[in-house]
């Protein structure tokens, strides 16, 4: 027994291990305009800081930097673990800039995929999955798909939930993460949970630390009345947009349920071919025209529509970690607690207003405002947003007005 028990523990650790991570770093993040633009979208902004008034935050992690840290902490436990970053080709340089700061051993784990065209999340995941299958010679791997623009804490709890998802994925299942809802929210999709699933340890005597449920359905973003009904049932969770699966299982799911998405990527590389170039110690997937041709042939569709909503072997890990998608300036201001900019004000201006600006701002006799100013000195378009607190969800309306006016250079 002394010889068998350690061997069994090794097997269990392998089952619970995340081998590779895929970071989805695309998207424009227009809800945080004008700080977030097509040149520097939300994922590259600094995460909310708790710096006090008048003392701009320095050295804060970006949303992407925090996601990268999460991915490396998990893939780093596997000897040949990889972190695949999928982003628009116009954003590869800022990603290289962030990744170049990493230690050499961490940079060696990274592969950057510059998407030549925006095709939503299903093609991005399919391309990364095909590359991983090519790189590993078809070995089965536990893969975790991460978002790049959310706030997640604490790291230890997230790691526990991720390993739970990996263990469940080993049973040919798609594991999704459900966020316990804090309010009736119309901006998120929902997961309807069914019965709880036990997860025994190697002795079969206790449950694993994270709660796992079977999935009854996925629901699209509801109206407020429907969202309130969801909350009352206590069966619905916010869909975090993160997934775990075994690579062989997911390849089979794509080929069976969404062949038009994955087939264009299947013949990109010949056996033994090394399709990456190197820059600053980072591997970058070479296009050579093949990648663009594959993206032109694939279908524009989300992973939820293409795979998750069709998959009959889906389980939900109830998130024990805190999660926030920071979907508005109101939410950003709440998390930041204090302005990060140099602000002067009279009366209660500084106390009640939130300012995010790259130049000093003065406030006189105003209250409960959110002010976001970009001067253009970073190369982006100069723009100013002034909003009453509680109204910043309407920034999306402003973005649509700008598009309609033809002034898309502001975005």
Residue-wise DSSP of 192-207: EEEEEE--B-TTSSSB
Tell me, what's the pLDDT at 28?
Answer: 77
Q: What is the pLDDT along the chain (411 residues), one digit of tens a residue?
A: 444 444 334 444 567 889 999 999 988 778 999 999 988 899 999 988 644 444 444 447 899 999 999 999 999 999 999 999 999 999 998 899 999 989 999 999 999 999 999 999 999 999 999 999 998 889 999 999 999 999 999 999 999 999 999 999 887 899 999 999 999 999 899 999 998 887 655 444 444 468 999 999 999 999 999 999 999 999 999 999 999 999 999 999 999 999 999 999 998 888 777 788 888 889 999 867 889 999 999 999 999 999 999 998 999 999 999 999 999 999 999 998 777 789 999 999 999 999 999 999 999 999 999 999 999 998 889 999 999 999 999 999 999 999 999 999 999
| Same domain, yes or no: 80 and 109 | yes
Domain identity same for 340 and 319 = no
Q: What pLDDT score was predicted for residue 369?
A: 96
Q: How many domains does the chain have?
A: 2
Structure tokens at 322: 């805190």
Co-location of 233 and 299 in the same domain: yes
Please, which residues bridge with residue 361 across strands?
343
Burial of 322 (0-12, 13-18, 19+ CB in 10 A): middle
Domain boundary among 324, 349, 369: 324
State the CB neighbour count (10 A cutoff) for residue 202: 11
Rounded CA separation 290/275 (Å)? 11
Q: Which of 291, 324, 357 is the endpoint of a domain?
A: 324
Q: What is the CATH number of the domain that holds 292?
A: 3.90.550.10
Structural domain for 214, as ranges: 4-324
Of the candidates 117, 96, 95, the one whose C-alpha atom is nearest the C-alpha of residue 43 is 95
Note whether 51 and 356 are within 8 A (CB).
no
Of 181, 205, 183, 201, the C-alpha closest to 191 is 181
Report the C-alpha gap between 314 and 168 in whole angstroms: 9
Q: Are 183 and 331 in contact (CB under 8 A)?
A: no
Same domain, residue pair 285 and 341: no
Single out the residue of 327, 25, 302, 324 nearest to residue 148, CA to CA.
25
Same domain, 130 and 263: yes
Query: Do residues 273 and 368 both lie within one domain?
Result: no
Looking at the structure, do residues 172 and 79 belong to the same domain, yes or no?
A: yes
Closest CA to 328 of 373, 388, 372, 394: 394
Same structural domain, 278 and 178: yes
User: Which two tokens mark 393?
Assistant: 């969800």
Report how far apart the first and last C-alpha atoms of the chain are (Å, whole number): 64
- What is the number of helices (H) and of strands (E) in the chain? 14, 18
- Do 33 and 118 lie in one domain? The reply is yes
- Do 370 and 232 lie in a common domain? no
Query: Residue 199: what pLDDT?
Result: 65
Question: Alpha-carbon distance 127 to 283, whole Å?
Answer: 15
Shared domain for 304 and 377, answered yes or no, is: no
Look at residues 134, 138, 152 and name the one whose alpha carbon lies nearest to residue 74: 152
Q: What three-state secondary structure class fits 188?
A: coil
Residue 262 contacts residue 130 (beta carbons within 8 Å): yes
Helix, strand, or coil here: 50? coil
Tell which of 324, 352, 374 closes a domain. 324
Does one domain contain both 318 and 373?
Answer: no
């Amino acid at each position: 027994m002394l010889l068998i028990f350690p061997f069994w523990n090794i097997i269990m650790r392998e089952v619970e291990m995340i081998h590779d991570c895929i970071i989805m770093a695309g998207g424009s993040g227009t809800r945080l305009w004008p700080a977030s633009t097509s040149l520097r979208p939300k994922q590259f902004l600094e995460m909310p800081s708790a710096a006090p008034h008048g003392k701009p935050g320095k050295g804060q992690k970006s949303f992407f930097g925090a996601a990268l840290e999460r991915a490396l902490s998990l893939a780093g436990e596997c000897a040949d673990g990889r972190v695949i970053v999928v982003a628009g080709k116009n954003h590869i340089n800022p990603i290289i800039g962030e990744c170049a700061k990493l230690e050499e051993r961490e940079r060696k784990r990274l592969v950057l995929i510059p998407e030549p065209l925006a095709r939503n999340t299903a093609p991005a995941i399919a391309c990364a999955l095909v590359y991983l299958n090519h790189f590993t010679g078809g070995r089965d791997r536990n893969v975790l798909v991460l978002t790049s623009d959310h706030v997640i804490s604490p790291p230890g709890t997230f790691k526990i939930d991720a390993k739970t998802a990996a263990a469940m994925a080993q049973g040919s299942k798609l594991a999704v993460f459900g966020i316990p809802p804090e309010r009736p929210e119309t901006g998120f999709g929902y997961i309807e949970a069914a019965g709880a699933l036990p997860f025994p340890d190697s002795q079969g005597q206790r449950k694993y630390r994270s709660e796992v449920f079977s999935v009854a359905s996925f629901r699209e973003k509801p109206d407020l009345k429907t969202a309130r009904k969801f909350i009352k049932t206590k069966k619905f969770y916010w869909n975090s947009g993160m997934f775990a699966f075994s690579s062989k299982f997911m390849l089979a799911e794509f080929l069976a349920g969404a062949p038009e998405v994955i087939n264009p990527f299947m013949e990109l590389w010949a056996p033994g071919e090394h399709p990456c170039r190197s820059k600053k110690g980072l591997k970058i997937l070479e296009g050579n025209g093949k990648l663009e041709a594959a993206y032109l042939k694939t279908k524009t569709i989300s992973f939820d529509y293409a795979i998750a909503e069709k998959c009959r072997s889906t389980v939900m890990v109830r998130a024990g970690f805190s999660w926030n998608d920071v979907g508005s300036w109101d939410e950003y201001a709440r998390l930041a607690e204090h302005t990060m900019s140099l602000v002067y004000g009279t009366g209660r201006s500084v106390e009640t207003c939130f300012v995010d600006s790259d130049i000093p701002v003065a406030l006189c006799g105003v209250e409960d405002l959110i002010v976001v100013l970009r001067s253009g000195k970073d190369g982006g378009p100069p723009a100013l947003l002034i909003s009453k607190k509680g109204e910043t969800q309407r920034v999306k309306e402003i973005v649509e007005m700008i598009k309609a006016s033809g002034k898309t250079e502001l975005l």
